[in-house]
Structure 1
Amino acid sequence: MQSVTRHGDGWQATIGEDWLQGRSAFGGIQAALALRAMRELVSADMPLRSLQTTFVAPVPAGPVAIHARILREGRSATQIEASLGDGEQTLCRLVGVFGSARPSVLDFQPEQPAVESNVPRELRYVEGRMPAFMQHFGARWLRGDLPFTGGHSRESVLQVSLRDEGTPDETHVLAFADFIPPIALGMFKQPTPGSSLTWMIELLRDRYDDLGLDDWRIDAQLIAARDGYTNQSLMLWGPRGEPVALSRQSMVVFG
């Protein structure tokens, strides 16, 4: 994130090999880089409420160009479009909605359900056999099947930590929310490639600096799978059960 710098009417960043997911950069880091550029166009005290992302083409390691522009700026909400690109090629397109708090009689949030796990299974990073970005996370499966174990579960619950220093912000939320592999991959008995097409995340908090970077929880569900496409949703919780974000993804699996 520190590599994001202004270049004329856009920005540029550098993605390391350690943040790749196959031949493309991890989706969470793509969205985080675009969000960093968006943030320069909107007040820091206006929280991100939702982010819609379309993954157009692989984003390789190395320099990547970022463009962002305001679509509409209202009294309470601002919509900003951003893209990652290589020359004239758009690699990722995003729309973020930032909104100030409004007076409302409604005030309720989801509550984290309990989950029982007799034997949590830790995902241990193995270089060359797992996507490189996973080395930056620690993860334990509390429920569901690990990738390529030939399981049948359509639900997964993970406890996730991010190996980073500093204070959590909304970019860390994007990284946590996009960490979980497609649940469908747990149904295959051998390595099978998969890729995200679209991703939408809705944020439920306006601050994250009180959460820390350890022991977040992801509750995910595979909604549908057909013709090589899957639809997955998740709820992201903070370390003490705080509701943080809702997310939905459309993915493809090649098997």
Structure 2
Amino acid sequence: MVLSELIRSAMHDGPRLQLTVGDDWLQGRSLFGGLQAAVAVAAMRSQVPAGLPLRTLQMTFIAPVPAGEVRAVAQLLRSGKSAVHVQARLEDEHGELLALAIGVFGSGRESRVSREPVLAAAETAAAATPLPFLPGVTPNFMQHFRVSLHDGALPFTGRPVLANRFEVGLREPAATSEWHLLAMADFVPPVALSWMDTVVPGSSLTWMLEILDDDYRSQPAAGWRVDADLVAARDGYTSQSTWIVAPDGRPVALSRQSMVVFA
């Protein structure tokens, strides 16, 4: 089931949300992190005035979220004049915590401070290397994406690169929703995996996403540029910073991710 259909299939009961997710969205033993984020934010929306933009999302991945029945429960933490803080818990059937997210939703305001991010020029499409979905080899969730590498190195190629540049899109003809943006922002694998010359496991610990421009819904859910930079690495833990750029060239979001690599 494609992402938009999946989220719309969710059953809502006040702050609680429940949906059934198939194995096609797995990333190893757990649901793809971008889908976990989309489910968490969908639950948060029950506590937020309609149309209020998501500004930041912080997420901690605590335990694997298996396929099957996925449950989320939202809690309003604070509602101020312009910003609303909401927490969402992804839980198992016993109420055990699997992932925790905090979102901040806020209205815009007049400000004398304005600065547009400046990114390096994108590589030409002629240099792109497609990332195919290979059943039994690549994670299941990749079948829902159309991805190509424009600069850097693929995972497990033994190349110590510091940055990877991708073009990312979903395999559904749709405009970019909040759910699509979250999924594409979390797609890219750890840059550190490109250093490995054999397949080794890796996992996200925490993820933070800042929405820089909330005017993205007219953009297609395809042809997005995602630039990932390895900022630091030590003792098996890595820090990665990622720009998410709309097809029209506007930087829409910035993420920061802490990951662990088992090699």
TM category (shorter chain) comes to over 0.9
1:8 to partner: Cα distance:
6.0
Q: 2:102 aligns with which of 74, 78, 95?
A: 95
* Distance in 2 (alpha carbons) for counterparts of 1:135 and 1:36: 23
2:95 is the counterpart of 1:105:
no
1:207 to partner: Cα distance:
2.8
Q: 1:240 aligns with which of 226, 240, 248?
A: 248
How many pairs does the alignment contain? 255
Q: 2:152 aligns with which of 133, 141, 144?
A: 144
1:44 to partner: Cα distance:
2.1
Q: Where has structure 1 moved over 3 Å in runs of 4 or more?
A: none
3-state secondary structure, aligned to 1:185: helix
* Distance in 2 (alpha carbons) for counterparts of 1:30 and 1:90: 13
* Distance in 2 (alpha carbons) for counterparts of 1:120 and 1:165: 22
Are the counterparts in 2 of residues 34 and 66 from structure 1 also a CA contact under 8 Å?
yes
* Distance in 2 (alpha carbons) for counterparts of 1:44 and 1:220: 32
2:28 is the counterpart of 1:4:
no
The amino acid across from 1:36 in the alignment is A
* Distance in 2 (alpha carbons) for counterparts of 1:173 and 1:248: 15
Match of 2:208 in 1: 200
Match of 2:4 in 1: none
Q: 2:131 aligns with which of 107, 113, 123?
A: 123
Q: TM-score scaled to structure 2, two decimals?
A: 0.93
Are the counterparts in 2 of residues 65 and 85 from structure 1 also a CA contact under 8 Å?
yes
The amino acid across from 1:92 in the alignment is A
Are the counterparts in 2 of residues 112 and 242 from structure 1 also a CA contact under 8 Å?
no
Match of 1:60 in 2: 66
2:109 is the counterpart of 1:73:
no
Alignment deviations for residues 51-75 of structure 1 (CA, whole Å, 9 cap, x no partner): 0000010000000111001100001
* Distance in 2 (alpha carbons) for counterparts of 1:251 and 1:113: 25
* Distance in 1 (alpha carbons) for counterparts of 2:53 and 2:16: 22
Using the aligned pairs only, state the percent identity. Answer: 49
Match of 2:91 in 1: 85
* Distance in 2 (alpha carbons) for counterparts of 1:9 and 1:175: 22
* Distance in 1 (alpha carbons) for counterparts of 2:35 and 2:123: 31
Q: 1:44 aligns with which of 50, 57, 77?
A: 50
Gaps of 5+ in 2: 1-6
* Distance in 2 (alpha carbons) for counterparts of 1:112 and 1:211: 19
The amino acid across from 1:209 in the alignment is R
* Distance in 1 (alpha carbons) for counterparts of 2:215 and 2:68: 31
Aligned-residue CA RMSD (Å): 1.3
